[in-house]
Amino acid sequence: MHLNSEQLAVDENTPSDKLRILASESVEIARLVAANLRAEPKLLEELAVLEDAETRKNVILNPNTPRDILIKLAEEFPDYFFQNSVLELLLLEKPLLPLEIPFWTLLKLLKQDYIPIWFLSAAASHTNTEILEIVATNPHTPETALLEIAVKSKHNDSLGLCIAHRKDLSEKVLRKLIENSTTLVRLYLAAYPKTPSPILEKILEFPEKNWNSRIEIQKAIARNCNTSIGLLEKLLEKAHAKVKRVISLRSNLPKYLIVQLALDYRVHAMRFLAQNSSIPSQLLVELAGHSELKVRQMVVSHPNTPVGVIIQAVKNPDLRLFIAENSSTPVDVLQELAEDSRGDIQKAIAQNPTTPGFILSELARNPLHDILVARHPNTPEETRERVLWRLAFNEQLSVRKFVAQHNHAPPQILVQWARNSPEVRPWVAKNPNTPVHILEELALNPSIQVRINVAKNPNSSNTILERLAKDWYSEVRQAVASNSLTSPKILAELVKDWHLRLFLAKNPGTPASALEHLAQFPSCDRFVLEHPNTPLQLRQRLLTDYAKSADSSERLLAAKHPDTPFEVLEILVNDKEPDISKLAIRNLDKRWNSSV
C-alpha cells in the first residue's frame, strides 16, 4: 500500500534519510517528523532552529533530542521540558543536570506547576540563592533536598526562612535548620505556634552570641503556646526580667508556677502577674491566705481579685500600697487610702486609672503629686488648671516643658512663656492651645525649631503657613508641606520646590493639580498612585507605565491594582513572569464576576 507524506512522516518505520527529505516538504510535515521517534538526533537538532514554534515544541518532546538541544528549547517551552521521557535516563548519566542549565532557563523550569522530585533534588545542589529559595518553597521538595539547603542557609536569612515557612517540616530538618541557619530563622521558629516543644528546647540551648537576640528568642519561646511547662521552668532558671514578664502573662500558668513567679523579686517589683488577666478569681481567692507576703500582695494588686478580699485586706499596712494600685479597688476604699499619710500610697492612687475626679482633687492639695494629677484623664478641669498654674512656677525646666506640652495648658501661661522664656518656646510653638496671634509672633522667631513647630501646629492659620512656606530653611517648608491642614492653594505653590516633593506626595490635602506634577518623579509616583485626590485618569496612566516597566515589582503592582485598565491587564496576562500573569488573570476574573 502506498503511503502519502503525512503517513510516512508519522510512521516509525520510515528510514531516517527519508524523514529528512519529508521535513523539507512543508511546515506541516516538519511538525510530524519532529514528533517521530525514529528521527535521528542530528535531524532533530536541525528542526530545533526552524521558525515554526509547533515544530520546535515537538522536538523538545522527542526522546531522541540531544541534551544540549533540550536545554536550549527549555527556555522557550519550560512547560514541555519535563514531559520528555528521556530526562530520567539523562539523570543517570548526569546526576546534576540542573547545574548545567543556564540560570534564567532553570528559573523558568522551577516555576512550573509540575516538577519531578529528582529534578528538585538535583537543583538543591545549586549555589545560587534564588534557585535554592524556589526549591525550598516547592511543596514536593524531598526531605533530603531540604536538609542540603538548610546547611547552605547559614548566612542567609531569606533562604532559611523559605524552609522555616513550610508547614510540613520534620524534626530532622528543623534540627538541621537550627544548627545552620541565622538568628532571624531561629527567632521565627521560636515564635511559630506549631513548632514542637523539643525543637523549642533545642533553640533555647543554642549558644546565641548576641545578647539582645538571645533575649528576643527566649521571649518568643516563653510566649509560644507550644512551650511545655517543663521548658518554662527551665527558662525561668536564668531568665532576664523581660522574659519573666512574658512568662507571667501566659494564660496557662499552673498554681505552683504563679507562686514561684510571685516570689521572684523582679516579677514582684514590676507587678507582672497583676497584668495577667487570665488568672481566675477562684485561684486568687485561694492564694489570698498564702503564708508568703509577696503572694498576698500580688493577689490584692490583681484586677480579678474579688472586692470582698480587697476590703478585708485593706486593714493590713503591708497590703495597702498594692490595693491602691489595683484598678478594681472600690471607690470608697480608694477614698480611705487617699487619707493615708504615706506618699507612696497617694502616688499609687494618683496613677490608678479608675481614681475618680473628687479624690484627685483632694490629692491636688499636696503639690507632691501635681504632675500625676495633671496627667490623669479623670482630673476635673478646674483642678487641672490650678495644678498646671502651680507647676508653671516650678524652677525645674523639665516641669515647665511638661506644662508647655500639656493639651490643657492655660493659654495665658503659653503667651507669657512665648514672650519671656526662650527655653520653652519650641514646646509652646507646638501646643495646639497656643493662641493664633502668638503663633504669628513665633513664626518670625530666629529659632528654626520654633518655626518648624509652628508650621506643624494644627492651630496655625493659612496666613502663618503661607509665610512659613517661603522660609529660607527647607526643614521649615517641609513642615508646612507635611501639615494636613495646610490649604491646597499653598500646597500647590510648594510643588515647585524639589525639596518638598515627597512630603507633598504623602500629604492627604495635596490637590490633584499638584499630584499631576509630582507623578513625573520616580520617587513620588507610588505615593501619587495611592493618593486619595489622584484622578482616575492619572492613576490609570501611571499603572499603564508600570505595566511596561522593566522592573517586575512595578508590573506586579499594575497586575493586581483595581484601577488598571482592562487592555493593560490583557497584556500582562502574557507576562514572562508567572506570578504577574496569574495576578492579572485573577484581577480580570474578579472584575468580570463583579460586572455580571
Q: Give domain limits for the chain.
A: 1-93, 535-596
| Range in 89-93, 165-169, 397-401 with the lowest mean pLDDT | 89-93
Output the pLDDT for position 39: 86
Output the pLDDT for position 546: 93
75: Cβ–Cβ under 8 A, 6 or more apart, which residues? 102, 104, 105, 108
Output the pLDDT for position 24: 84
pLDDT band at 462 (very low <50, low <70, confident <90, very high): very high
Q: State the residue for C-alpha cell 533536598.
A: 145
Output the pLDDT for position 561: 94
pLDDT digits over 51-85, tens only? 888 999 988 998 998 888 988 998 888 888 888 88
Closest CA to 56 of 68, 69, 67: 69
Q: Residues 121, 123, 124, CA angle at the centre, nearest 5°?
A: 65
Output the pLDDT for position 12: 83
Measured distance CA(187)–CA(219) in Å, rounded: 9
- Is 596's pLDDT higher than 60? no
- Is 2's pLDDT higher than 70? no
Output the pLDDT for position 595: 64
Measured distance CA(484)–CA(356) in Å, rounded: 36
318 vs 114, higher pLDDT: 318
Q: State the residue for C-alpha cell 518505520.
A: 13
- Is 450's pLDDT higher than 90? yes
Mean pLDDT (the chain) is 92
One-letter amino acid for residue 390 of the chain:
R
Q: State the residue for C-alpha cell 538543591.
A: 124
Q: What is the pTM of this model?
A: 0.74
pLDDT band at 419 (very low <50, low <70, confident <90, very high): very high
376: Cβ–Cβ under 8 A, 6 or more apart, which residues? 350, 351, 355, 360
Measured distance CA(109)–CA(99) in Å, rounded: 12
pLDDT digits over 377-404, tens only? 999 999 999 999 999 999 999 999 999 9
Rounded to the nearest angstrom, the gap between the alpha carbon of residue 557 and the centroid of all alpha carbons in its chain is 18
Give mean pLDDT, residues 500-506.
Answer: 95
CB 295 within 8 A of CB 287: yes
Closest CA to 166 of 148, 182, 185, 180: 185
pLDDT digits over 535-565, tens only? 999 999 999 999 999 898 999 999 999 999 9
pLDDT digits over 132-146, tens only? 999 999 999 999 999
Output the pLDDT for position 88: 75
583 vs 17, higher pLDDT: 583
- Is 410's pLDDT higher than 80? yes
Measured distance CA(593)–CA(91) in Å, rounded: 46
pLDDT digits over 115-127, tens only? 888 889 989 999 8
Q: What are phi and psi of 154, to 5 degrees?
A: -55, -40
pLDDT band at 509 (very low <50, low <70, confident <90, very high): very high
The three cell numbers locating residue 103: 540560570
| 249 HSE (CA, 13 A, CB side) | 16
Measured distance CA(225)–CA(178) in Å, rounded: 19
Output the pLDDT for position 14: 82
CB 38 within 8 A of CB 61: no
Q: Where are the alpha helices (DSSP H) in 431-535?
A: 436-442, 448-456, 462-468, 474-482, 488-494, 501-506, 512-518, 525-530
Alpha-carbon Rg for the chain in angstroms: 36
- Is 38's pLDDT higher than 90? no
| 451 HSE (CA, 13 A, CB side) | 22
101 burial type by CB count under 10 A (0-12 exposed, 13-18 middle, 19+ buried) = buried
DSSP string, 266-335: HHHHHTTGGG-TTS-HHHHHHHTT-SSHHHHHHHHH-TTS-HHHHHHHTT-TTTHHHHHH-TTS-HHHHH
Q: Is 251 helix (H, G, I), strand (E, B) or coil?
A: coil
CB 404 within 8 A of CB 425: no
476: Cβ–Cβ under 8 A, 6 or more apart, which residues? 448, 451, 452, 455, 468
pLDDT digits over 246-283, tens only? 999 999 899 999 999 999 999 999 999 999 999 999 99
CB 462 within 8 A of CB 487: yes
